[in-house]
Amino acid sequence: MWQLIEPKSLMILILPFLGVLYFLFKKRTGLSKKQLALSTTGNILKTHSKKTRLIFRLLFFVTLIIFCLLAFLVARPMRVKSWVQKWTSGVDIVFVLDVSDSMDANDLTPTRISAAKAVLKDFVIHRPDDRIGLVIFGGEAILKSPLTRDFDFLLAQVEDVKLRELKQGTAIGNGIANGIARLRHSESKNRILILLTDGDSNVGAINPVTAAHLARQEGIKIYSIGIGKQDRVLVPIYSYDSAGQKNQLIAQIPSYLNPDLLKQISAITGGKAYMARDNGTLNRILQDISQLEKTKIKLLPMSKKEEMFFIPALLMFMGLTILIFLQETRFQRRRLNGI
């Protein structure tokens, strides 16, 4: 975008405009010597040569162009480059996902773990300005992905989550503690941990309540999500026979979900606890958390100004050179010849 810093300077153009009017409408034949300021110009007007008149007009218009360029230079033309700089204050988020055997129950479609992975992926895709990590736990807790914005890697790690790869049990405290370790050295002002589990803490060296107090000391907020119905559910159980072949049995087990524990964990840290009985509810819960923990985005207008005097100055210099050349060669030579 172009911009003139001193647009009022264009009033100088009134002078060449008046000169044009003078040139077009004033009869040259009746002009007196007083009306012709330049002696060289006066000598030219005395001749009736078409070629001389043509050269005079060229000289006149070159002078007008020089005046216009001068006015343009005095107005200080600038080229302004504008853009918007995006500033974000992202949220650092760690998902702590239960991968105990009961997550294979089919009260969510197709299973609890599949539903949890689906909403987790959707959450990640819609948080492009945040860093997100993943911890999984059963009877022990391990890191699947550190805090990252490399969502291709993170989504691949989510897809790679499988059941029955960790020790049996539900070590909620260990899972929370592992997530805290990933957030402890984060420089983000907003750090949250999202716990997804379908059971009660029954193993692990760290008590979930103790882990919640540790999170509060670190300024980490915990959102707890209980997954599954509280009725008895069907869960596949796998066993191996003497020949080493894998056999699947279907067992009906009660729900071990402990809503009171999840509410206590979240209350200690200033978070919120949810119960997801079906896929739709689980999806709405993640959307609600996303709304509560919004990324702060500021759009800062930026601009860079560059003065564009070189080209008009060069053109004006060329015009002056042409003007001097015409006066010192063509006109002077003709004057010496008696024109």
Domain ranges of the chain: 2-81+303-336, 91-294
Higher local confidence (pLDDT), 138 or 30: 138
> In the predicted model, is pLDDT for residue 192 greater than 50?
yes
Q: Where are the alpha helices (H) located in 83-147, listed in sequence order?
A: 112-125
Give whole-number Cα distances, 204 to 176, 190, 211, in Å. Answer: 11, 28, 11
- Pairwise CA distance, residues 242 & 339, whole Å: 126
With b meaning 16 or more CB within 10 Å and e meaning fewer, what string describes 309-319? eeebeebbeeb
The pLDDT of 75-93, averaged and rounded, is 75
Residues 6+ apart with CB under 8 A from 134: 94, 95, 97, 120, 143, 144, 145, 154, 157, 158, 161
CATH number of 91-294: 3.40.50.410
Residue 219's region, left for phi above 0, alpha for psi from -120 to 50, else beta, is: left
pLDDT tens-digit map of 239-273: 777 777 777 788 888 888 999 999 999 999 999 99
Count of beta carbons in the 10 Å neighbourhood of residue 320:
14
Q: Output the six-digit token pair for 74.
A: 């005095």
pTM of the model: 0.66
> In the predicted model, is pLDDT for residue 339 greater than 60?
no
User: What is residue 79's predicted lDDT score, i.e. its pLDDT?
Assistant: 77
- Pairwise CA distance, residues 299 & 317, whole Å: 44
User: What is residue 10's predicted lDDT score, i.e. its pLDDT?
Assistant: 67
Bridge partners (DSSP) listed for residue 2? 79
With contact defined as beta carbons under 8 Å apart, do 172 and 201 qualify? Answer: yes
> In the predicted model, is pLDDT for residue 28 greater than 60?
no
The pLDDT of 3-31, averaged and rounded, is 63
SS3 state at 172: helix
Residues in the chain: 339
SS3 state at 177: helix
pLDDT tens-digit map of 129-169: 899 999 999 999 999 999 999 999 999 999 999 998 899 89
Q: Which of 17-21, 135-139, 183-187 has the lowest mean pLDDT?
A: 17-21
